[in-house]
Amino acid sequence: MSPAETSLLDRLAEIEKRGLAAIDDAGSEEELEAARIEYLGRSGAVASAFSDIGQAPAGVRPEAGKRANATKKALQAAFERRLATLLAAARREESEGADLTLPARSRWRGGTHPVTQVIDEICDIFREIGFTKVRGPEIESTWYNFTALNIPLDHPAADEMDTFYLADGVLLRTHTSPVQARVMEEYEPPVRVVVPGLAYRRDAFDPSHSPAFEQIEGLAVDEGVDFVEFRGAIQYFIRHFFGEGTKTRFRPSFYPFTEPSAEVDIECSICGGSGCSACKRTGWLTIMGAGMVDPAVFEAVGYDPERYTGYAFGMGPGRIAMIRHRIPDTRLLFDGDARFLEQLT
C-alpha cells in the first residue's frame, strides 16, 4: 500500500474516531450542531474525504469508498442518538424547572340547563317504573286544554285573564295536561307516560312568575290502578329524586280533571321543616298537584270509566330547580346569563 492510500484510510479512521468523540461530548444542541457541521456538513471532514477518493489510486477506491460510507453512517447514527438524548434531557430539565402551579390549558365547558337536568332526572326515575316519555303541541284547542279535562269554558281557569289566546278556540296550552287526553285518544291502556313541556299563563315576569314555564305531566291508567298505587308511585319518585327519608305528605286539593285530587308536599329542604320564607313558614314545599283521573276525562276520551282507573300528576321542574339550587328569581332561568349557566352546569 502506498502512503497515499494508507493516509486516506487512516484519515477516515481518524475522522470517525474524532467525530464520534466530538458528537458524544457535545453538551448542547448547539455544540452538537457544530460537530455535525464539522464532520457531516457539506464541506465537512467526511465530505472532503469523499472528494479525495477520486484522487486515490483506482485499486484503493472501492475500499476507500466503502470505508467512507461506513464512517458517514456511523457518525450519522451517533448524531441521531446524541440529539435524542440531548432533547430528552432538555425536556426533562424544562419540566423539572417549570412552575407547575401555572394554570392549565382549558377548554370551554358546556352543559345542560339546570331545568333540563331536573326534567331528565325526573323522567329517568319514572322510566324505571315503566313510564314512557311523550310530547304534545304547545298550541292547543280549547277542547283539549279545557273541555276534555272537565274544565267548563266559563270556569275561572279558562279565563282570558290567565290564558293566551291566538284566535277563537285556539290558545297556548295553560298546562301539559291536554296531552293526557291526546294520549288516551290514541292508545288503549295500560298507559304510563310522562310529558315534559312548556305551558303558558298570562303572568308577567317577576321573581316567582313567568309567562312560559316548564311542566311535567304524568299519567298512569289501567285496570286496578287505585289511590294506594298512586301514593306508592309518587313516594317512589320522591325517594329517588329528593332522597331516602324525605318527609312527604298528601293533602286534599282540587283539579277539575282529577278526583280525589291531592297536592304533594315535601319537608322544606331549605329550613328543614322549621319554617322559612321559601315555604311560607309552613315547613313544607308543594312540589306536585295530582290525583285520580276524573271519570269525566275518561268519558271525554272514550275510555270506560267503570273499567279503568288511573292517576295523573303535574310538576314544575323550574320550581324544583329553584328549590334545589336556591335560585331566588325565576328570571334567572330565562336570561341565558353565561355566568349562571356555568355555575349550575
Partner 1 sequence: MNVSLNWLRELAPGLEGSAEDLAERFSMVAAAVETLEPVGQGVADIVVARVVEAEPHPNADRLTFCRVDRGADELVELVCGAPVVEVGALYPYVAPGVELPGGLRIESRKIRGVMSHGMLCSEYELELGRDKSGIMRLPDGLEPGQALTEALGLPDVRLTLDLNPNRVDLASHVGVARELAPGGEADVVLRDPGADWQPRWSDGAECASAAGVTVRIESAERCPRYLGAVVRGVKVGPSPAWLAGRLLAIGARPINNVVDATNYILFELNQPIHAFDLNTLSGPEIRVRAGQRGERLRTLDGEDRDLGPDVTVIADRDRAVALAGVMGGEETEVTPATTDLFIECAAFSARAVRDTVRALNLPTDASYRFERGIDERGPERALTRCVELILSSAGGEAETDAIRAGASPPESPVVPLRTGRVHQVLGLRLADDEVTDLLRPLGFERVEPSGSTGSVDETTADLRDGKSALQFSVPGWRNDVRREIDLVEEVARRYGYERFPDEERRFRPSSVPGDAAWDRMDRVRALLSGEGLLEARSSSFVPEDQPGGRAEVGVLRPLSAEEGFLRAAMVPVLLRRAEYNFARGRRDVRLFEIGTVFHTSADPGDGSAVRPEPDGTEAYQEELRVGLVVTGSAAPRHWSGGTRDVDLWDLKGLAGDVAEQLCGARVEPLGEDPEALGRFGGGWLGDERFRIVRDGRTLGIAGNIDSDAADAPRWAGSLWGLEFELDAVQLGEQKRYEPISAFPSVRRDLAVLVSESVAASEVEASIRAAAPKLLELVELFDVYEGEGVESGQRSLAWAFRFRAADRTLTDQDVETAMTSIIASLEEAFDARIRAS
Q: Kindly determine how many residues on this chain lie close enough to bind partner 1 according to the rule CB under 8 A.
A: 102
Q: Closest distance between partner 1 and the C-beta of residue 290, in Å?
A: 11
The window from 30-38, 41-49, 81-89, 256-264 that contacts partner 1 (CB under 8 A) reads 256-264
Cβ-based nearer residue to partner 1, 15 or 193: 193
Q: Closest distance between partner 1 and the C-beta of residue 255, in Å?
A: 9
Cell numbers 484522487: residue: 55
Which of 168, 244, 245, 277 touches partner 1 (CB under 8 A)? 168
The window from 33-41, 58-66, 68-76, 185-193 that contacts partner 1 (CB under 8 A) reads 185-193
When asked if residue 244 is in the footprint of partner 1 (CB under 8 A), the reply is: no
Residues between 50 and 89 with contacts to partner 1, criterion CB under 8 A: none
Three-state DSSP state, 331: helix
Which residues lie across from 264 on neighbouring strands?
Answer: 250, 288
Residues between 292 and 331 with contacts to partner 1, criterion CB under 8 A: 292, 294-295, 306, 309
Is 75 in contact with 23 (CB distance < 8 Å)? yes
The window from 17-25, 82-90, 251-259, 266-274 that contacts partner 1 (CB under 8 A) reads 251-259
Cβ-based nearer residue to partner 1, 269 or 286: 286
When asked if residue 137 is in the footprint of partner 1 (CB under 8 A), the reply is: yes
Which of 250, 257, 303, 313 touches partner 1 (CB under 8 A)? 250
Residue 189 sits at φ, ψ, to 5 deg, of -60, 160
What gap in Å lies between CA 181 and CA 167, rounded to an integer? 21
By C-alpha distance, which of 216, 234, 233 is closest to 318?
A: 216
Is 198 in contact with 232 (CB distance < 8 Å)? no
When asked if residue 222 is in the footprint of partner 1 (CB under 8 A), the reply is: yes
Cell numbers 319514572: residue: 126
Residues between 200 and 219 with contacts to partner 1, criterion CB under 8 A: 200, 202, 204-205, 210-212, 214
When asked if residue 175 is in the footprint of partner 1 (CB under 8 A), the reply is: no
What DSSP character marks residue 257?
Answer: T
When asked if residue 152 is in the footprint of partner 1 (CB under 8 A), the reply is: no
Residues between 103 and 132 with contacts to partner 1, criterion CB under 8 A: 103, 105-113, 115-116, 123, 129-132
Q: Closest distance between partner 1 and the C-beta of residue 76, in Å?
A: 22
Which residues lie across from 170 on neighbouring strands?
Answer: 141, 167
Which of 160, 245, 302, 326 touches partner 1 (CB under 8 A)? 160
The window from 8-16, 47-55, 67-75, 186-194 that contacts partner 1 (CB under 8 A) reads 186-194
Residue 133 sits at φ, ψ, to 5 deg, of -110, 115
What gap in Å lies between CA 214 and CA 196, rounded to an integer? 7
Which of 54, 97, 245, 252 touches partner 1 (CB under 8 A)? 252
Contacts made by residues 204-207, CB under 8 angstroms, sequence distance 24+: 205/330, 205/331, 205/334, 206/330, 206/331, 207/328, 207/329, 207/330, 207/331
Give strand ranges (E) for 180-320: 191-200, 212-222, 248-255, 258-267, 284-293, 309-315
